[in-house]
Chains A and B, each alone.
Chain A
Amino acid sequence: MKPRPFDYVRPDTAEEAVALLADYGDEARILAGGQSLIPMLNLRLIDPAVLIDISRIAGLDVIADRGNFIEIGAAVTQNALMGWPDLKLKLPLLAAALPFVGHFQTRNKGTVCGSVAHADPSSEIPLTLAVCGGAVVLRGKRGERVLAADAFQQDMLTTAREPDELIAAVRFPVIEGKGVAFDEVARRHGDFAIIAVAAIADGRGEVTLGVGGMAGRPMLRSIVGDAAGAIAVWAGELEGYEDLHASAALRRDLLRNLGPRVVAEAIRCAA
């Protein structure tokens, strides 16, 4: 379990990182926290020509309050965000989701943007980003573009990022005056979820419900009224998928069981 050889570059600025990406394209991988990337390297599942280490770039480790949204830079670790004093107040759904992300030790290195970039279908941060209606800031040599979370994550481990683009930050809309809830079922504490469920209740009877682990990416549904009934139908539509730990039928039933509970919790929280 030793990585294949690769070049290593540690740029000092985001501009340098972007220039390197332009040179190498899909031969390059961005290294930030490395908590998903390095296991894949050790297992020789991927074969990048170069790793571009952005973890020391000044300015990428910033959590910026932009009023309507919070912008989280590419080098901000999950634990740094958990320690951000305004988290519970401004991003309560993310605050509820982060304790489910890996472990204390991996959150120390793992970045928020890295989790979004990795795009695991049952991962908590991409789900939260989708449910919040957040966005991803992509920076390339041609300039910067901002993609809605929904447009960014396309399928299992697949995103709309172009090979020469750096995920510079993610933007989480500030949630105020709404109710939120998050829960998941995992085999062990800290494992990737079998399914993860996140909800935002607007306080006027509408709930945005998101689920990870039912498809290649987080799926969203707006719920008004009979949550249990709506979720039962939705679970059937989504089908789910089978892996070692869960049958598709189990996934559907987990959504049917957990979904209404999370919706109710969000509504309670909104009230």
Chain B
Amino acid sequence: MRRVNKNERVRIALALNGRKLAAAAEPRTLLSDFIRQNLGSTGTHVGCEHGICGACTVLIDGVAARSCLTLAVQAEGREVKTVESLAAPDGTLNPLQAAFRANHALQCGFCTPGILMSFTDYLARNPHPSSAEIREVLSGHLCRCTGYAGIVKAVEEVASSAPAKAGKGDHASEAKHGGRGV
């Protein structure tokens, strides 16, 4: 049983983008603040801190989640991935990032990291989503600059160029993210 008392700062260790890191935080420290301020990765942005805008979305054990609605201590021992993990070490953009660039899917870019992380999770589960499915996932994010059209196009482009093996409704891969049937 893990127990941390209020106002107590304890060492919280997790893997951020493949690197094991740790820093001291209180139980109430939000994961969004922990990643940005304690671990120094500022690519994840904070836009509302009540779970609606989606800017702070990161992957926790591969699953897209609002880091503002997660305590740092909840992510203890987990694998956290942020936008900084997407490009190659030499800066080469991955296909999703490149499609965003090609389709003018960002302007100010503040909401973009969260959107990229949502689709990183979703496209891993469903590599060939329909336009409606893309919109459904995107509706969990607010973007004020683009009117969304370029974002939809960018994801469609990635979806249409992905290798055609895993099909739609890949329940097997979804099931690994949570409930086990008994």
Note whether A and B contact each other (Cβ less than 8 A): yes
Could you say which of B27, B28, B49, B179 contacts A77, with CB atoms under 8 Å apart?
B179
CB neighbours (8 Å) of A203 from chain B are: none
Q: What is the bound-complex CA distance between A80 and B180, given in angstroms? A: 8
Query: At the interface, yes or no: A86 with Cβ under 8 Å from chain B?
Result: yes
Q: What is the bound-complex CA distance between A3 and B51, given in angstroms? A: 14
Whether A63 touches B182, Cβ cut-off 8 Å, given contacts A42-B50, A42-B68, is: yes
Return the CB mask of A49-82 against B: 1 if under 8 Å, else 0.
1010101000001111100000011001101111
Establish whether residues B2 and A9, one from each chain, have CB atoms under 8 Å apart when the complex forms. Answer: yes
Establish whether residues A5 and B6, one from each chain, have CB atoms under 8 Å apart when the complex forms. Answer: yes
A75 CB, nearest partner CB in chain B, Å: 8
Query: At the interface, yes or no: B66 with Cβ under 8 Å from chain A?
Result: yes
Number of interface residues of B (CB under 8 A): 44
Establish whether residues A85 and B181, one from each chain, have CB atoms under 8 Å apart when the complex forms. Answer: yes
B82 CB, nearest partner CB in chain A, Å: 14
Establish whether residues B181 and A65, one from each chain, have CB atoms under 8 Å apart when the complex forms. Answer: yes
Could you say which of B3, B50, B139 contacts A9, with CB atoms under 8 Å apart?
B3
Could you say which of B7, B57, B137, B180 contacts A61, with CB atoms under 8 Å apart?
B180
Q: What is the bound-complex CA distance between A62 and B181, given in angstroms? A: 6
CB neighbours (8 Å) of B15 from chain A are: none
Whether A109 touches B65, Cβ cut-off 8 Å, given contacts A34-B70, A65-B181, A80-B177, is: yes
Establish whether residues A105 and B54, one from each chain, have CB atoms under 8 Å apart when the complex forms. Answer: yes
Return the CB mask of B68-81 against A: 1 if under 8 Å, else 0.
11110110000000
Whether A38 touches B4, Cβ cut-off 8 Å, given contacts A62-B179, A79-B177, A79-B178, is: no
Establish whether residues B51 and A35, one from each chain, have CB atoms under 8 Å apart when the complex forms. Answer: yes
Q: How many A-B residue pairs have CB under 8 A?
A: 154
* Chain A, interface residues (CB within 8 Å), range: 35 or more
Q: What is the bound-complex CA distance between A99 and B133, given in angstroms? A: 11
> Closest residue to A3 on the B side, CB-wise?
B28
Query: At the interface, yes or no: B84 with Cβ under 8 Å from chain A?
Result: no
Establish whether residues A103 and B181, one from each chain, have CB atoms under 8 Å apart when the complex forms. Answer: no
CB neighbours (8 Å) of B71 from chain A are: 8, 31, 34, 38, 51
Establish whether residues A105 and B118, one from each chain, have CB atoms under 8 Å apart when the complex forms. Answer: yes
Contact residues of B between 128 and 182, Cβ < 8 Å to A = 136-137, 139-141, 171, 174-175, 177-182
Establish whether residues A62 and B27, one from each chain, have CB atoms under 8 Å apart when the complex forms. Answer: no
10 A-B pairs closest in CB distance: A80-B178, A103-B140, A83-B174, A8-B27, A80-B179, A5-B6, A10-B2, A76-B179, A39-B50, A105-B140
A sample of 8 more A-B contacts (CB under 8 A), given A80-B175, A108-B65, is A8-B2, A11-B1, A62-B182, A81-B178, A83-B171, A103-B140, A105-B64, A106-B51
Residues of A within 8 A of B (CB): 1-12, 16, 31, 34-35, 38-39, 41-43, 49, 51, 53, 55, 61-65, 72-73, 76-77, 79-86, 99, 102-106, 108-109, 188-190
